[in-house]
Amino acid sequence: MGMSKFGPVVVWLACATSAYAEAPLKGKVQDREVWITIGTDALAPVRTALSGQGLRLAAPTFEKGGVAVLRVSESQVEKLSGAMHQGLNRCAGFIAHDSQAEAVAAAEAAHQPQTLGMALAASYTLNNAASVNALLADIQEINIRNTINSLSTNWTNRYYNVQNGADASTWLKNQWTTLANGRSDIKVEFFTHSWKQSSVIATIQGSTHPNEVVVLGGHLDSINQSNPSTGVAPGADDDASGIASVTEIFRVAVAKGYKPARTVKFMAYAGEEVGLYGSKAIANSFKSAGTNVVGVLQLDMTNYKGSSYDFAMVTDNTNAQLNAFTTSLISKYQPGLSYTNITCGYGCSDHASWTAAGYPASMPFEATMSTDNKSIHTPNDTLSVTAGNANNSVKFAKLGASFLAELAKGATTGNTPPPVDSGGGGTLPTASYDSTYKAPRCASAGIGCDSGTLLNGRGTMSPSEANAPNTIAAAACADSSKGTYRTDESNERIRVSTPDGTTLAAGKTVTVEATVYAYSTTADKLDLYYSASATSPSWKLIGTYSPSSTGLTTLSASYTLPTGGVQVVRARFRYNGSASSCTAGDYIDHDDLVFAVQ
């Protein structure tokens, strides 16, 4: 969400129940509209709470997997925050977006089918035990306790847009710089934002796979829900405990001479409590740069043991395969410990920003939803709630350290690094719309190219396909606009990749995946074509495929890349008819993906 479009006021009232009893919304003509994603479970109670104030909540325009997309006015967002708090005893619990397309994309990503299956499974291996165990042996509770103590007693208001919040970033950056101990392969930097507080990022350059990135993070900011700017917000659990866990992982990595094969980034996000601002800015900038993030671990609240389970895996807005990998780490490296699954019902922490940007993320949490720490967002979120110790966070620091050494591979001093699977974890460079080619394009040759959400929709069916029909200028081909989105046919996404994670080059066999929304398994057909040139295309049929299920489903095929610097793949998803690279007709969607080849 761009801070510029609608100011921070939107979410800083997240839990401020005092601020919403004011003039009704009708007649506020200058009110800007925003789009929100919200858990469907929250709709009824929020609607009831709002109607108590004479306000009506619009019907969702899109719903999927427990997440709804709604249009609201900017001023209504404030009332919605209050209503969430009143109706659900939950803070905010929705994410505001600039556009409907962005909101729908976020809802989609929250429950995306796992189309990255094979590549991910191949690279999530457990074969680095010697290095993991060297790291785990050195994790110390006292260090975690000291960091929580410093943050929660010296920086008792880490709100994202006040000077204290900014100063807390500087303090942490200095801490991490000291821990880096002058190593030339490590740098510690600010990621600055349009508000006062900066995010902090410590990077250990990967020795052999520097372009593949592993992220471990937590949020640096805190909030006093009834007085955000000046109230006392120690945030010992939420989230000094996560920052302290990440800090201890970073410390042991350096202390044990750990040299990761993949690049590792330790992150302390600014502005999580006001709407995941910092992580969203970072994840989106990585996406724009085409950075290949193979896995993200979010540690938000680690020191309070709410239930008998040691870990609760958040299963919404996270990646199922990365979650499976994370629980396999628990079973292998902390075998006495237990875990369960929970859902937040909305993007409750920074993992959701990474998921929305198309990256695999996991968030192991300290409690179940009914047993969560009730002191958060108040002056009472102090270390005394957890008896003055950081025992519970040790488990999370160990989990994070095992995540680090098994995902980034490489080795600690004296240990032999295991082989690193290629394939980059399944995340591919993301295309962006190219107004010259008139289709999504990856301008430089990488391990593949992913249209991401750019091809969602068909023609002007609401919500419409952005830049429809997304077919190359040299072979434009219209879409039908007939029917209803996500009931009738649409091609939603195209990915092209090398199965071995090497760069796209002439002569290599590549996998093409098309994610379609199918109406029928018998009448619907996918025609896939390729052309060596995107400027003077000559289409070759890869094949015609039938969806094996209705709804969202991914079909894949392979072909050998010809010679040509700028190539293109076309997906034509049709209802009845026969194979053709371009024949318009009812319910037919044509989409192209342009990509560079070496």
Binding site for Zn ion (CB under 5 A): 238-239, 300
Site for ligand BES in 12-31 (CB under 6 A): 14
What type of residue sits at position 337?
Answer: L
Looking at beta carbons only, is 158 or 458 nearer to Zn ion?
A: 158
Residue of closest CB approach to ligand BES: 91
Per CB under 6 A, 83 contacts ligand BES: no
Q: Please, are residues 241 and 119 in contact by the beta-carbon 8 Å criterion?
A: no
- Least distance from C-beta 286 to ligand BES, angstroms? 20
CA 501 to each of CA 46, 116, 483, 505, 563: distance values in angstroms, whole numbers, following the listed order: 46, 13, 39, 12, 19
CB of 414 to ligand BES, least distance (A): 38
Cis peptide, bond prior to residue 463, ω within 30 of zero: yes
Q: Hey, what are 581's tokens? A: 């690279």
Provide the minimum distance between the beta carbon of 306 and ligand BES in the complex, in angstroms, as a whole number.
9
**Residue 591 falls in the annotated catalytic set:** no
- Annotation marks residue 63 as catalytic: no
Of 102, 212, 221, 272, catalytic: 272
CA nearest neighbour of 246 among 201, 192, 191: 201
How many residues of this chain bind ligand BES (CB under 6 A)? 20
Q: How far apart are the C-alpha atoms of 254 and 412, rounded to whole Å?
A: 9
What is the crossing angle of helices 391-407 and 129-137, to 10°? 150
Please identify which residue in 102, 300, 465, 479 interacts with ligand BES, judged by CB under 6 A: 300
Q: Give whichever of 339 and 575 is closer to ligand BES, judged by the CB atom.
A: 339
Do 431 and 593 contact (CB within 8 A), yes or no? yes
Residue 68 or 593 having the CB closest to ligand BES: 68
Tokens of 375: 């002191």
Binding of residue 92 to ligand BES (CB under 6 A): yes
Window 354-393: contact mask with ligand BES (x via CB under 6 A): -----------x------x---------------------
Q: Which residues contact 560 (CB under 8 A, 6 or more apart)?
A: 507, 508, 509, 510
At closest approach, how far in Å is the CB of 100 from ligand BES? 19
Between 264 and 283, how does the x/- string for binding to ligand BES read (CB under 6 A)? --------xx-xx-------
Marked catalytic residue, from 273, 316, 524, 589: 273
SS3 call for 592: strand
In the complex, minimum distance from the CB of residue 88 to ligand BES, in angstroms, rounded to a whole number:
10
Residue 233 as a binder of ligand BES (CB under 6 A): the answer is no
The interface partner of residue 92, options being ligand BES, Zn ion, none and the CB cut-off 5 to 8 Å by kind, is ligand BES
What's the min distance (Å) between Cβ of 543 and ligand BES?
Answer: 43
Vertex 418 angle, CA 393 and 339, to 5°: 30
**Residue length of the chain:** 598
Tokens 């301008």 belong to 443
The catalytic residue among 97, 351, 377, 590 is 377
**Side-chain half-sphere CA neighbours of 357 within 13 A:** 27
Q: Is 236 in the site for ligand BES (CB under 6 A)?
A: no
Report 440-469 residues binding ligand BES (CB under 6 A).
Answer: none
* Nearer CB in complex with ligand BES: 11/449: 11
The entry of ligand BES, Zn ion, none near residue 465 (CB within 5 to 8 angstroms by kind) is none
Q: Which does 394 bind (CB under 5 to 8 A by kind): Zn ion, ligand BES, none?
A: none
Report the alpha-carbon angle 475-479-480, nearest 5: 150
Return the residue of 1, 6, 10, 11 that touches ligand BES, per CB under 6 A: 11
Q: According to CB under 6 A, which one of 102, 108, 212, 238 is a site residue for ligand BES?
A: 238
Per partner kind, with CB cut-offs from 5 to 8 A, the member of Zn ion, ligand BES, none near residue 95 is: ligand BES
The tokens of 61 are what?
Answer: 């325009």
Q: Which is nearer to ligand BES, 239 or 489 (CB)?
A: 239
Q: Is 238 known to be catalytic?
A: yes
Residues 311-350 that bind ligand BES (CB under 6 A): 344, 347-349
Confirm whether 272 is a catalytic residue. Answer: yes
Backbone angles phi, psi at 559, to 5 degrees: -155, 170
129-158 as b/e: b if 16+ CB within 10 A: eebbebbbeebeeebbbebbbbbbeebbbb
212, 294 in Cβ contact below 8 A?
yes
Residues 6+ apart with CB under 8 A from 513: 115, 493, 494, 495, 496, 497, 554, 555, 556
Distance in angstroms (rounded) separating the CA atoms of residues 411 and 388: 34
Task: Give 300 or 592: the residue with its C-beta nearer to ligand BES.
Answer: 300
Q: How far is the CB of 226 from ligand BES (least distance, A)?
A: 14
Residue among 108, 221, 237, 238 flagged as catalytic: 238
The whole-angstrom separation of Cα 37 and Cα 95 is 5
Q: Tell me how crowded residue 428 is: count the other CB atoms within 10 A of its CB.
A: 27
Question: Choosing from 102, 248, 300, 406, which is the catalytic residue?
Answer: 300
**Residue 488 near ligand BES by CB under 6 A:** no
* Single-letter amino acid code for the residue at 498: T
Which CB sits closer to Zn ion, 239 or 527? 239
- If one asks whether residue 91 binds ligand BES (CB under 6 A), the answer comes out as yes
Give the residue with the Cβ less far from ligand BES, 212 or 238: 238
Query: Counting beta carbons within 10 angstroms of the beta carbon of residue 562, is it exposed (0 to 12), middle (13 to 18) or buried (19 or more)?
Result: middle
Q: Measured from the CB atom, is 238 or 524 closer to Zn ion?
A: 238
- Residue 296 CA to residue 214 CA, distance in Å, equals 6
434 contributes a contact to ligand BES by CB under 6 A: no
Query: Does 300 participate in catalysis according to the annotation?
Result: yes
**Does 351 qualify as catalytic in the annotation?**
no
Spatial separation of the C-alpha atoms in residues 348 and 361, rounded to whole Å:
13
Q: Which is nearer to ligand BES, 315 or 556 (CB)?
A: 315
Q: What are phi and psi of 289, to 5 degrees?
A: -80, -5
Nearer to Zn ion, 191 or 304 (CB): 304
Q: Would you name the residues annotated as active-site residues?
A: 219, 238, 272-273, 300, 377
Query: Where does this chain bind ligand BES (CB under 6 A)?
Result: 11, 14, 91-93, 95, 238-239, 272-273, 275-276, 300-301, 344, 347-349, 365, 372
